[in-house]
Chains A and B, each alone.
Chain A
Amino acid sequence: MGDYALEVTNLTKKFSDFTLDDISFKLPKGYIMGFVGRNGAGKTTTINLITSLYHKDAGEVRIDGNRAEDDKVLYKESIGYIGDESYFHEAFKIKDIVSIQKDFYPTFREAQYMQYIEQWELPTDKKIGEFSKGMKVKLMFAGVLARDTRILLLDEATSGLDPITRDEVLVMLQKYIEDGERSVLFSTHILEDLEKIADYVFFIEKGGEVFCDYKDQIMEAYRMVKGGTDELTSELEKEIIGLQKSSVGFQGIVSREVGDTIGDKFLVEQPAINDIIVAFQKNMGGNHTWVQ
């Protein structure tokens, strides 16, 4: 059992052109972890390794303390996965999905599933290939929420959604963790979503961890500084991550300590998590490392 919904230890996978290198993190029960990084940074690979769809070269993954190797069927049952694209065959209809879910998931609740279908007005007479993107995502959610899972893995599940639907998804995620027993790992580009509801953030780049920490700590550890172009001293420039210069000024991210000392000379304010992540991405290969 234990207190962690998900424990990833030294997870490694080598492809010909990319390596996911020694990824480790723990997600306690009842919390949401945002998983951010560029396309190709390793988010999908990590999630595919967690679902055991891909075979790992090294490392261990435990969900609620169980490994896929111990009982693959139980392991897969405990995962609710929702991806960017519909993973149902286009020729299937809702009744096919119901039938398959009934066969394979012992905890599947058909009545609850059909309630979601009705609530979200998903067409029962059309093939899934004819659904809109938003409908396809909701269909995936219905399938996952109408059965018992221990963890939700979302791989860019909200990327193609309109803002209203995205908001509905965030509400669903918070409801999912409300009992404090289940967790969500949520890979996304849309960092505003994380800003609100994520408890933890894991930032990955080129197959390796950049940082993994409480979202609040990350937000508080950094400040955004803005000023005029000629006010930028070379000492300050050294301290700035993700510097942007224009004809009318500069802006960048600095550590809180630095920000507090220069507050009288420059505009210093709370950055959005998006600003911090983007700044770090710009800085890759630079001389700044994550501030604890």
Chain B
Amino acid sequence: MGAIKYMKIDLRFLKVQKVVLILFPILAVFMEAFGKMDFAFVFGYLCFGAIIIAPTAFMYEQKGSDLFIAMLPGKLKDRVWGRFLNLIILMLGAFLCAMISHFIAEGFSFSISGMEAVFMLAAFCISIMIGSIQMLVFYKVGREKSQQWLAMFRLIPGFVVFFGITYASDALIKEPDLLKNLVGILQRQAVMLGGLLVVICIAVLLVCEMLSVKICSKKDGY
């Protein structure tokens, strides 16, 4: 499929960040297994990593040396989808790493509470939504802003995700009543809420993608 071909190209750029790509998960495992950081922190940290790495491809476009890519015989739609798929793959990668580190931390056993599962799903979906919006912003202004601006800007969603996840987790722990209420609601409406969240997430993703395609089709250079 066309989009996958483009996704492969964007993933190639991550080769340059090989070091980061390997360090992040290893640190995650260490933090949870040996640093005794809680799971939420680690998951948040990994999502942060995924969100920050996702727009790497945009950084290369800045230099204008993406002409080869722009000239490839493929549809613009596929090209944009490829980049969004890139984001999804990275998020799945973060998820996988979190699972592995949790697995190791829990003494090579797999135990995850219902709360943790729901929490993770929520964090995952919200990260994807923020990542998608980040993509949209990059498509809109990516080429006009300087490298420095982009480098700084991409940190914002990452930190939002990270602090969001850890804060939410802390808040829930600190407020047992809130937690109890939340658990109550969740247990009653778990499937529906979960489903709703996933639907919203997918909707945001699709909208961002469509808007990105629209933006690119108006601009020169794509």
A→B interface (CB under 8 Å): 48, 51, 53-55, 72-77, 79, 81, 83, 85-92, 96-97, 99-100, 103-105, 143
Contact = CB atoms under 8 A, between A and B. Distances in A.
Nearest to B17: A91
A73 B74 contact: yes
A233 to B, nearest CB: 51
B214 interface: no
Given A87-B67, A90-B65, A100 B72 contact: yes
B15 A74 contact: no
A81 B71 contact: yes
Interface string B109-125: 00000000000000000
Report, nearest first, the 10 A-B pairs whose CB atoms are least far apart. A87-B67, A76-B73, A77-B73, A54-B220, A87-B68, A73-B73, A104-B72, A103-B5, A91-B16, A88-B68
B71 A54 contact: no
A100 B9 CA distance: 7
A76 B221 contact: no
Contact of B75 (A51, A73, A79, A143): A73
A88 B66 CA distance: 7
A53 B220 contact: yes
Contact of B13 (A55, A88, A91): A91
Contacts of A90: 63, 65
Nearest to B70: A53
B8 interface: yes
B71 A91 contact: no
B153 interface: no
Q: Which size class do B's interface residues fall under?
A: 20 to 34
Contacts, number: 65
Contacts of B15: 91
A104 B73 contact: yes
B72 A76 contact: yes
A115 B5 CA distance: 25
Contacts of B75: 72-73
Nearest to A79: B71
Contacts of A87: 65-68, 71
B73 A92 contact: no
Contact of B12 (A55, A74, A92, A104): A92
B13 to A, nearest CB: 7
Contacts of A86: 65
A90 to B, nearest CB: 7
A54 B60 CA distance: 19
Contacts of B63: 90
B20 to A, nearest CB: 14
Q: Among the interface residues B9, B15, B68, which one has the most CB atoms of the partner chain A within 10 A?
A: B68
Nearest to A55: B220
A89 B73 contact: no
Interface in B48-104: 60, 63, 65-75
A272 B117 CA distance: 78
Contact of A104 (B5, B66, B222): B5
Contacts of A103: 5, 8
B9 to A, nearest CB: 6
A142 B168 CA distance: 55
A100 B15 CA distance: 15
B75 to A, nearest CB: 7
Nearest to B67: A87
B67 to A, nearest CB: 3
A90 B62 CA distance: 13
Nearest to B78: A73
Nearest to A128: B65
B73 to A, nearest CB: 4
A105 B221 contact: no
